[in-house]
Amino acid sequence: MIWIHRSISNKTDHYKFWNERVIETGLKTQRGNLTILGVYAPKEGRDELNEEFYETLLQKILDKVNKNNYTMLVGDMNARVGNNRVVNTVGTNAEATLNSNGRKLIDLRTFINLKIRNTFFKYKEIHKFIWEARGHK
């Protein structure tokens, strides 16, 4: 889901429902056009679905997005990218864990100029997670 505040709803250029996992919205801004891709990736451990999602579907959609637009990939990637710095991609302020979805997201960076922004800013430890199973670390 992508929520657009009513104060900028008149700037909406287009929207497109790609499938149940990806929606696209285009906005006209003062600096140019902005494409927002709202994404919900498969859960970690569903290897076949994740391969198809990251390496096929998401890459095909990103290939079709206008390269002259600013592009934001937002949503739940179900990825943990770790805190090992990857120049201009991953910062050092994330949790230590790297999972296979995180590796796929970092690898996607080889095809697009992707920056995983929330890893560049310091957060309290409690704000680095959105969900944690009880009884698991």
Q: Which of 137, 131, 80 is nearest to 106 (CA)?
A: 80
The DSSP line for the chain is: -----GGGGGGEEEEEEEETTEEEEEEEETTEEEEEEEEEPPPTT-HHHHHIIIIIIHHHHHHHS-TTSEEEEEEE----B-SS-BTTTB-S-S-S-B-HHHHHHHHHTTTS---BGGGSS---GGGG-S---TT--
pLDDT in tens, 99-132: 788 788 777 776 677 766 666 566 666 655 665 5
Do the beta carbons of residue 125 and residue 93 sit within 8 Å? no
**pLDDT classification of 28: cutoffs 50, 70, 90:** very high
pLDDT in tens, 35-90: 999 988 888 777 788 888 877 788 888 888 888 888 888 887 877 777 776 766 66
Q: Phi, psi at residue 14, to the nearest 5°?
A: -165, 165
pTM above 0.85, yes or no: no
